[in-house]
Amino acid sequence: MPRIPILMPQLGEAIAEAVVRSIRVKPQDRVEGDQEIIEVETNKTNMGVTVPCRGKVVEITAVLDASYPVGATLGYLEVTAADAAKAGFKELGPNRGKQKTTNSRRVVEREPKKTEVASTAGVHFQVDEQETFTVAEPTAVRPTVGLPVPANATGATYLSPRMKARMQELGLNAADLSGIAGTGAGGRVTIEDFEKFVRQLDNHAQSDASPMRIAVADAMRRSCLRPLATVGRPVLLDRLLLHRKQSPNKPGPTLYVIRALAIAIAENTAVGGRLVGGKIIHPRSIDIGFAVEVDDGVLVPLIREVDNKPLKEMVDAYNQLVKQAQSRKLSLEATGTGIATVTNFGKFDLVWATPIPLPEQNLVLGLGVGRKKPVWSDEVGTFVPATEAELTLSFDHRILDGGAAGRLLSRVADLLQKPETL
């Protein structure tokens, strides 16, 4: 009977690898099509690897706590020729790649359907199909990839081959040298400085960083390669809160802000674009993420085409995404980069903050805690109590200047004064 590989699937936009957390089957187990047999952890959520058709597990090559790239073989399934054909696999010919011959077993590969066309509806910045990529062999070391921020002053602008080899051995990158005072020429960190720093670490309590914490750290390093700035302004919430009170499904304040931001960006999509060379690449759709705090990090579920969805139609989906994020069970549709993020830091009783945009995004909009304040009313000619909060907008200064950012923020604030139009 032919054998087919169990592959690490594409787990979402911009996710290149995942860590195996549990294996729910063993060799000789019978499985059904689409049965979840392996649980993996990405930097966004926990997800399951399923089998393409029914059959018998003959081998599991995946190792617990090891990281595997998309497309890596995690094991093998023995199936009938009919089931393999239904699942879209075909037998390899004599000159088609590597073929298993042990015990007269045959390896088959999936045959792409000619009618299938890769969907690009949710892809904002697409890579040319001619590009080719190589992936490293899976290891048990958690990945710490990304372009690091140079260390303080000029200390880490040059790293000797010996230093690079030692850092690779320990799983460190240049940003980890920011705490080392270099004694070399021009403040360069020497190998002696580095080894002294490593020895001192042994005198401190240590704990392993989770994959999510490593991913957040890497994202922040890459984000800070850009010139970021933040502007802010107050916004009155009384009309929003009254509209929420009168609505049967009670949308949260964050959802109002998400919808207002999407409308404002749709009026001038360049503000949500990315600078690539000498061009600003406009987004294809207005997909907005929102921050949800989870254990040891933050997840950012994504709502797609927010500018085309009235507020009342998004409430149930938004509430469901919050629950999925808190349980780290986000669907593929809810993962991705989007073009902006909304974060309600007011939930932590914070008045003002300067959140950092994700590396793939240009904007992050923050909402502070609402507080009662005296606000001047032209109608009655005196101060009246009102609920006021601070809106902040952090942005890539290469794309927006302070004036453009201020106008975008003011437009969001104006839309929030007319919640019935959202």
pLDDT in tens, 175-186: 777 777 777 766
pLDDT at 91: 60
Whether 149 has a pLDDT exceeding 70, the answer reads: no
pLDDT at 158: 63
Whether 362 has a pLDDT exceeding 50, the answer reads: yes
**Contact between 390 and 214 (Cβ < 8 Å):** no
pLDDT at 275: 83
Whether 381 has a pLDDT exceeding 50, the answer reads: yes
Kindly state the average pLDDT of the residues 236-244. 93
pLDDT over 90, % of the chain? 36
pLDDT confidence of 215, banded at 50, 70, 90? confident
- Which of 43-47, 121-125, 177-181, 299-303 shows the lowest mean pLDDT across its residues? 121-125
pLDDT at 56: 92
Q: Which residue has the tokens 């590989």?
A: 5
Average pLDDT of the residues of the chain: 80
Kindly state the average pLDDT of the residues 348-364. 90
Whether 24 has a pLDDT exceeding 70, the answer reads: yes
Whether 54 has a pLDDT exceeding 80, the answer reads: yes
CA distance readout (Å), 182 to 127, 171, 198, 326: 40, 20, 14, 43
pLDDT at 162: 79
pLDDT confidence of 319, banded at 50, 70, 90? very high
Kindly state the average pLDDT of the residues 58-80. 90
Q: Say which residue, 133 or 235, is predicted with more confidence.
A: 235
- Which of 83-87, 89-93, 233-237, 289-293 shows the lowest mean pLDDT across its residues? 89-93
Please name the CATH architecture into which domain 227-421 falls.
2-Layer Sandwich (3.30)
pLDDT confidence of 115, banded at 50, 70, 90? very low
Whether 260 has a pLDDT exceeding 60, the answer reads: yes
Q: Say which residue, 169 or 140, is predicted with more confidence.
A: 169
The residue extents of the domains of the chain are 2-110, 145-208, 227-421
pLDDT confidence of 265, banded at 50, 70, 90? very high
**Listed ranges 101-105, 220-224, 344-348; the one with the highest mean pLDDT:** 344-348
pTM over 0.75: no
**Contact between 396 and 228 (Cβ < 8 Å):** yes
pLDDT at 236: 93
2-110 and 227-421 agree in CATH topology: no
Kindly state the average pLDDT of the residues 285-307. 88
Is CATH 1.10.260.40 correct for 2-110? no
pLDDT confidence of 123, banded at 50, 70, 90? very low
